[in-house]
Amino acid sequence: MAKRPIIKLPDPVLKTVSEPVETVDDDIRALLDDMLETMYDAPGIGLAAIQIGERKRLVTIDLSRDETPKHPHFFINPEIVWTSDEMATYEEGCLSIPEVFEEVERPAECRVRFLDRDGAECELHCDGLLATCIQHEIDHLNGVLFIDHISRLKRERVVKKFTKAKKLEATG
């Protein structure tokens, strides 16, 4: 396993749509392990492959806290096949948009179809934080950021802040 650098806003890679994984093999499992290590190190609870520059439909999630045992989830080619009419609002953040947190409303529950680490087809009913997290990560696979769900004014402020910081970093 190897920790990878996380791509940050305003990098245009974050707005690209990821490609489906054709074969679940040792290379894909190694990439999932790298993603998990990167996510734990950040620290975060979810990571999409595009956030480390890999345009593959892969997601890792672990909602475990501090001292509790790790319980990682691996999603290959995840797709939401059902969402509830009931909505829930969570304060979301993102490893690619550090230190920015905003309230986002999403379906309170969803069902996700995906392949597991061994390539087996699975379906998982998600609610609470897991439902929010998987929807957030699948958005990444489709080139959508959580700030795309907030008001235009707030989104523009965030983008401007990160664009300015990138320019300052580039000029030294």
Which residues have a catalytic role annotated? 137
The helix or strand, by DSSP H or E, that contains position 106, with its residue range, turns out to be strand 97-107
Name residue, tokens 């969402």.
83
Structure tokens of 135? 């929807």
Q: How far apart are CA 143 and CA 133, in angstroms?
A: 15
- The SS3 call for residue 84 is coil
Q: How far apart are CA 48 and CA 117, in angstroms?
A: 15
C-alpha distances out from residue 6 to 12, 44, 86, 148, Å: 13, 11, 33, 19
Q: How far apart are CA 5 and CA 22, in angstroms?
A: 25
